[in-house]
Amino acid sequence: MDCTKQSLKSWSNIENRHRRIALTGNEIENSSDLRESEREIFCYAATLADPEISTPVLRSVPWNMLPLSLLKTAQGHPMLVELKNGETYNGHLVNCDTWMNIHLREVICTSKDGDRFWRMPECYIRGNTIKYLRVPDEVIDKVQEETKSRADRKPPGVGRGRGRGREDSTSGGRPAKGMGGRGLDDGGAKGMGGGRGRGGAGGRTGGSRGTGRGR
């Protein structure tokens, strides 16, 4: 996208109150392993944070909404799920996870040829059997509201296991849940999050192989 190198470079020259954003911009620019979409998200979030430094080009950067975020937002809504084997399940989404495993209530299952039906109070579908999901149209607007408000609250780049622990205030929030496995930063994060039940960092880095199955 157009909003990468040049504009970020010029941002890095902006003094004082823009400095933190500009710094973040530099880091993003210099880290080759960040995906393009993440830069875009950064650009977009920065324009939200401070319209003064934005340009029309930056404003028009499209937002890549994650399919699983949309699915999460669809909780409580009716939806249709078609499996790879052609069966379809109509029901209300109770919950879903990062593997797209989904839990439905008040379900009607339809056979592949569409001539047999089963009603069931609830069902759980393994994510990798899904072909597609049909979601009510209005759900997409709710995601946008949520993502925007999240971008307002936090500067981008936090919780990525990057950035040498600038911002002490947020470090307790959700450290290193994103990527894990990256040097010193992770060590610190594990220390802080150690007492908590789900310890995201530990699960991803070392211990994941054994623990996942054991339960």
Partner 1 sequence: MSSGAGLESLVDQTISVITNDGRNIVGVLKGFDQATNIILDESHERVYSTKAGVQQLVLGLYIIRGDNISIVGELDEELDANLDLSKLRAHPLKPVIH
Chain residues binding partner 1 by CB under 8 A are 1, 4, 35-37, 40, 62-71, 84, 100, 127-128, 130-137, 139-140
59 DSSP 8-state letter: H
Nearer to partner 1, 128 or 169 (CB): 128
Shortest separation between residue 78's beta carbon and partner 1, angstroms: 12
Smaller CB separation from partner 1, 149 or 211 = 149
Task: State in angstroms the smallest separation of the CB of 195 from partner 1.
Answer: 31
Coil, helix or strand at residue 68: helix
Q: What is the CA radius of gyration of the chain?
A: 21
Query: Nearer Cβ to partner 1, position 63 or 108?
Result: 63
Residue bearing tokens 């946008």: 144
**Minimum gap (Å) between residue 54 Cβ and partner 1:** 18
For β-strands 117-125 and 102-110, DSSP reports them as antiparallel
Minimum gap (Å) between residue 208 Cβ and partner 1: 18
Q: How far is the CB of 74 from partner 1 (least distance, A)?
A: 9
Rounded to 5 degrees, φ, ψ at 89 are -125, 120
Tokens matching residue 96: 């879903």
Q: Which is nearer to partner 1, 22 or 81 (by Cβ)?
A: 81
Q: Please answer whether residues 136 and 79 qualify as being in contact, where contact means their C-beta atoms are separated by less than 8 angstroms.
A: yes
Tell me the sheet residues that pair with 83: 130
Comparing CA positions, the residue from 18, 124, 138 lying closest to residue 73 is: 138
Tokens of 195: 């007492």
Residue 30 CB, shortest distance to partner 1, in Å, is 16
Per the DSSP assignment, residues forming a β-bridge with 125 are 102
Toward partner 1, which CB reaches closer, 139 or 189?
A: 139
Name which of 132 and 165 has its Cβ closer to partner 1. 132
How far is the C-alpha of 24 from the C-alpha of 160, rounded, in Å? Answer: 12
Dihedral over Cα of 170, 196, 179, 188: its sign: positive
